Chain A
């Protein structure tokens, strides 16, 4: 049986050569992502801004404007609507009632439910949630803290295990992944809620997985080929691990793809975020974290050899062997 080979043997793509262009593109994209988040903001779910979120399932696809005006006529505050999945499900988000009476939220939900049921026959509610402002502040704080701590923790691990350059380049790459994901959410206006924070943390986890594999190989090759130039060494390492990178990314994308298609609307944005993260994470492993090592001045072998001319003769080729 002939086995499938996604990446032919002896693949030798010159990744590092175009790193300056890649840096520029990456930098521009990252700035764009930050700018979009800054200008548009994120479509925060009730988890983070506090409020009431009601999910209503309609018999047929409703006109959003009609639903909006129906809800707004109740005078309970400005409603934000979003169609989900099969278009028949609409999330209605509203601010918390100002009254301190604990029953006020129930009354509000009740009024919206009855009003919609009478205006749109066959409409049923499928879930609702309320988050108070105080809790939501805490959730934001913990979410941000979790992301920052994860980056710092991983960078420290990387630094202790390897040279400091690995720690820095990994942290920068992960930050890049996170910013790109945020930019994606600002751009698509998908709801950003607590689930998405979990997704972002997973992206960090996955991305770091990817980088560790390549970093580990770079490290190994640095010991093996003491005189090789850094750019060449990184190219070699990335190429050597390329079959694995492609295989793993593909299987994960397959798994996530099935979740995206069949996983129902509740998980859609969650899955989309992770898929994006896998792609961005794989890219940043090569063009941010690995290539950055050169910029940071990492050199193979002991320090006194830093001026030695890297010669190809030293390369006892694993490829040729």
Chain B
């Protein structure tokens, strides 16, 4: 107990000093922090939206969509692969019950077809499993079944891409500091501090922004169109300008992949807002060719399966740029431009949870939280000093350092402080005392049993440490469960709780023990007031 070697004292003091320094940035306003030289580490705690004000959106992807579009993609791949030399005649390609099936017309070519199919599938993970299962039934019918691992991987990729697209779109909105993170297998959490009206954001994120140019099928019979029936090779789509359906050719002449840029612009003649699209080299050549061949005919600009506008091709468009005018406002044109520019969402996202907190309420909450924390600390200090005298003062140091360590660790983890987090904080202050109370009560007990000062202190720490360990491990179990299962507020609370448990054990046991032993070594008291 008394032999607290110098290196230990130095290590503990240095560690705590660093922690205190690391806690400082969290007390300094961001504007001041930004003026510090860049080599200074400035880990600071993020304020959650409930404290800073802003909008929170939980977006969910329909994973069935991913599976479906994967099947459709496979169908196209199979079609084009079988057409290549050596050609295999196939028919009756259909998607049913989550499976793709087709028939090989010449039974002798089943093996050739299989040869062609194999490269279309790839291995997934380390088990050697492939992303599609190929089976032949009735000797000529192929059935392609997507494997679970394959689907999961596709969803994973789609979600990662979606997260990036969402990130790009929000950043395009301007000076916001959003956080966009994936949650679980099919969700994305978007938090935008300071954003008061998330309507524009939601509109933007709700767009898949799948762009395609199709030729309009002018042969469609209006009566059939009204009933939703299109001529062969065409599909019926809603036309946003007139509100009535319009038929377009099934195969797109240009798709969004060929887009390099999109920007909001104005029509030179009417001054109406529109969106200017810029195509890449291949897209430009294709566009030039198609517009040359179809001069005088209308083509449809389709975004998310809605025809936005259907201008007539007056002359071949050679520069690779096209303008969409379709009854836009400046804002909606800008939104569409952002959506197109940031790329197509690989999967449609739906808002399943959202909340918006005004900055005033957030500021009120912070003020209340700080007041409560300060009062809690003062009350605890007074209580401890009155009860345990010198040992209470040591405990107070420990609790104060504990607070700073928690802030420092949270800053380093760039953890977010939320309102329940403040409550967790206040509770931590309360429970941090517990370890010291346990130790001090033990010392009291040992003294009453007539042990010497040194012995009492030593035994007090030893016996209490075991109890503190038991109690904190179980407390931590609850914390870990909260962290794993919780979402939003529960998580924020759990983070603070867990950091608090670890740091309170360190400050309450190790640090006060050092103070006590240094004091005893120097003064050799024959009696202690505790």
Contact = CB atoms under 8 A, between A and B. Distances in A.
A121 interface: no
A132 B57 CA distance: 12
Nearest to A250: B383
B490 A208 contact: no
B50 A266 contact: yes
B372 A251 contact: no
Interface class of chain B by DSSP: helix
A244 B478 contact: no
- What are the 10 tightest A-B residue pairs by CB atom distance, in nearest-first order? A129-B355, A252-B430, A264-B368, A255-B376, A258-B375, A205-B478, A255-B430, A127-B357, A212-B471, A146-B485
A204 interface: yes
B350 A208 contact: no
Given A134-B352, A240-B445, A252-B431, A1 B423 contact: no
A6 B384 CA distance: 12
A139 B473 contact: no
Given A212-B467, A216-B470, A271-B423, A254 B430 contact: yes
A202 B463 CA distance: 26
A262 B497 contact: no
Given A125-B358, A212-B474, A194 B430 contact: no
B488 A208 contact: no
A82 to B, nearest CB: 16
Interface string A254-269: 1110110111101100
A259 B423 contact: yes
12 contacts: A132-B352, A146-B482, A194-B488, A198-B490, A202-B478, A247-B433, A251-B379, A251-B437, A252-B433, A264-B365, A266-B361, A267-B419
A259 to B, nearest CB: 4
A108 to B, nearest CB: 12
Contacts of A250: 383
B474 A154 contact: yes
Nearest to A146: B485
Instruction: With a 10 A CB-CB cut-off, give which of A199, A240, A248 has the most chain B CB atoms.
Output: A248
Please tell me the size bucket of the interface on B. Answer: 35 or more
Nearest to B354: A130
Contacts of B437: 244, 247-248, 251
Interface in B418-432: 419-420, 422-424, 426-427, 429-431
A125 B427 CA distance: 30
A75 interface: no
Interface in A168-214: 194-195, 197-199, 201-202, 204-206, 208-210, 212-213
B466 interface: yes
Nearest to A52: B354
Contact of B371 (A105, A130, A199, A262): A262
A267 B441 CA distance: 33
Contacts of A42: none
Interface in B477-501: 477-479, 481-482, 485-490, 493-494, 497
Contacts of A23: none
B467 A216 contact: yes
B78 interface: no
B475 A208 contact: yes
Interface in B433-448: 433-434, 437-438, 441, 444-445, 448
A150 B352 contact: no
Contacts of A150: 477-478, 481-482
Interface in B457-473: 463, 466-467, 470-473
Interface stretch (B155-163, B233-241, B247-255, B385-393): B385-393
Contacts of B467: 212-213, 216-217
A270 interface: yes
A158 interface: yes
A145 to B, nearest CB: 6
A3 B389 contact: yes
B364 interface: yes
B529 interface: yes
Given A202-B497, A255-B380, A270 B423 contact: yes
Contact of A154 (B353, B364, B478): B478
B376 A258 contact: yes
B443 to A, nearest CB: 12
Interface of B: 50, 56, 58, 60, 199, 202-203, 206, 350-358, 360-361, 364-365, 367-369, 371-372, 375-376, 379-380, 383-384, 386-389, 419-420, 422-424, 426-427, 429-431, 433-434, 437-438, 441, 444-445, 448-450, 463, 466-467, 470-475, 477-479, 481-482, 485-490, 493-494, 497, 529-530
A210 B433 CA distance: 13
A244 B371 CA distance: 27
Nearest to B421: A198
Contacts of A149: 481, 485
A259 B376 contact: yes
A261 B426 CA distance: 13
A142 B351 contact: no
Contacts of A135: 58, 60, 352-353
Interface in A199-251: 199, 201-202, 204-206, 208-210, 212-213, 215-217, 220, 240-241, 243-244, 247-248, 250-251
A65 interface: no
A132 B353 contact: yes
B360 A126 contact: yes
Contact of A267 (B422, B470, B490): B422
Contacts of B494: 198, 201
Contacts of B434: 209, 244, 248, 251-252
Contact of A259 (B372, B380, B449, B487): B372
A274 interface: yes
Contacts of A106: 199, 202
Nearest to A134: B352
Given A106-B199, A208-B475, A258-B376, A263 B353 contact: no
Contacts of B202: 102-103, 106
B474 A254 contact: no
Nearest to B382: A254
B356 A198 contact: no
Contact of A142 (B364, B380, B485, B530): B485
A205 to B, nearest CB: 4
Nearest to B446: A318
B486 to A, nearest CB: 6
Nearest to B368: A264
A268 B355 CA distance: 19
Interface in A73-126: 102-103, 105-106, 124-126
Contacts of A248: 430-431, 433-434, 437
B420 A198 contact: yes
Contacts of B486: 142, 146, 197-198
A205 B475 contact: yes
B366 to A, nearest CB: 9
A266 B419 contact: yes
Nearest to A3: B389
